[in-house]
Amino acid sequence: MTNIAFIGLGNMGGPMAANLAKAGHDVTATDLSIGAIDRAVEAGCKRGQSVAAAVADADIVVSMLPAGAHVRSVYMEDYGVLAHAKDGALFIDSSTIDVDSARAVIAAAADKDFAMVDAPVSGGVAAAAAGALTFMVGGESTAFERARPILDVMGKNVFHAGAAGNGQVAKIANNMLLAISMIGTCEAFNLAEKLGLDAQTFFDISSTASGQCWSMTSYCPAPGPVPAAPSNNDYQPGFAAAMMLKDLRLAQGAANAAKVATPLGAQAEAVYALMEAAGKDDLDFSGVMKLIRGDL
């Protein structure tokens, strides 16, 4: 049993904290929302009255917050983790945030002799509830090995991606590729259909030919060929277009800062921004098919 502080009990953090408590850990949970803390207490966590109080006795601090500004604040401000954690504590930030913030907070923790990893996840709320997330972890090997048993409770795949911030790099590079392949798949199915080739026949051919990709074979954006795909459920998420757009913006921010050319990533961001402008970013990210078809 480990003393764990869990900060950020939203859609993802709530079920993740619950799984740690269910596994027998002593979890003190805190959030700005009292309702979120109440739900965590019902799920077996202890009530954390504040960040400072929650982390005071923790051997491990896990955070699951919206964006880089929240993570910087929760760790680096006077009320926060670095000022109040006990010596030797390990910090795991699982939020999806910009690479610069991840590296800055890990460096600030190191300045105070705390070990810290960035450990963003792939998988949505259902995977968080099932303890089936994939973690992409950046940080020193020793910190990664200390974090692994805790991450194993919340996830089924745990990868060490290398140095601090590399978890975030893996996440945004993967999701940029996914967005590009999804948009390309939508364009191909739409073109085939408009030229008289039905989705199932095109799928049968392309899924065994060189156009094959995960967006097609596991998540086909054209209704029909992959029964479990959101395209057969009116594009209900799944993984919402709004969350894909968040990750694409993080990818473009990092690419611009590092002067790396990502022309298709930039296009993908622009396409998903159109979903947002149309007020349809609550659809699954494969719902970009509707935009390509002119159905939005």
For the chain, report the end-to-end CA distance as a whole number of angstroms.
Answer: 51
Helices (H), the chain: 13-22, 34-42, 51-55, 68-76, 81-84, 99-111, 125-130, 141-154, 166-194, 199-206, 214-217, 241-257, 263-277, 288-293
The nearest distance, CB 188 to ligand NAD, in angstroms, is 27
Least distance from ligand NAD to the Cβ atom of residue 172, Å: 11
Classify burial at 82, counting beta carbons within 10 Å of its beta carbon; exposed 0-12, middle 13-18, buried 19 or more: buried
Beta bridge mates, 27: 4
- Looking at the Cβ atoms of 59 and 284, the one nearer to ligand NAD is 284
Nearer to ligand NAD by C-beta: 28 or 95? 95
Q: Minimum distance from CB of 118 to ligand NAD (Å)? A: 11
Q: CB-wise, 74 or 150, nearer to ligand NAD?
A: 74
Using CB under 6 A, list all residues that contact ligand NAD: 7-13, 30-33, 36, 51, 64-66, 70, 73-74, 95-96, 121, 124-125, 243, 246
CB 48 → ligand NAD: shortest distance, Å? 9
- 22 catalytically annotated: no
The CB-of-239 to ligand NAD minimum distance in angstroms stands at 7
Q: How far is CA 138 from CA 99, 131, 237, 266, 281, in A?
A: 10, 20, 28, 25, 30
Question: Active site residue: 86, 112, 156, 171, which one?
Answer: 171
Please give the residue whose beta carbon sits closest to ligand NAD in the complex: 10
User: By C-beta, is 33 or 208 nearer to ligand NAD?
Assistant: 33
Task: For ligand NAD, give the closer residue by CB, 33 or 233.
Answer: 33
CB 63 within 8 A of CB 8: yes
Pairing status of strand 133-138 against strand 121-122: antiparallel
For residue 293, which of 200, 231, 242 has the smallest C-alpha distance? 231
Residues noted as catalytic: 171
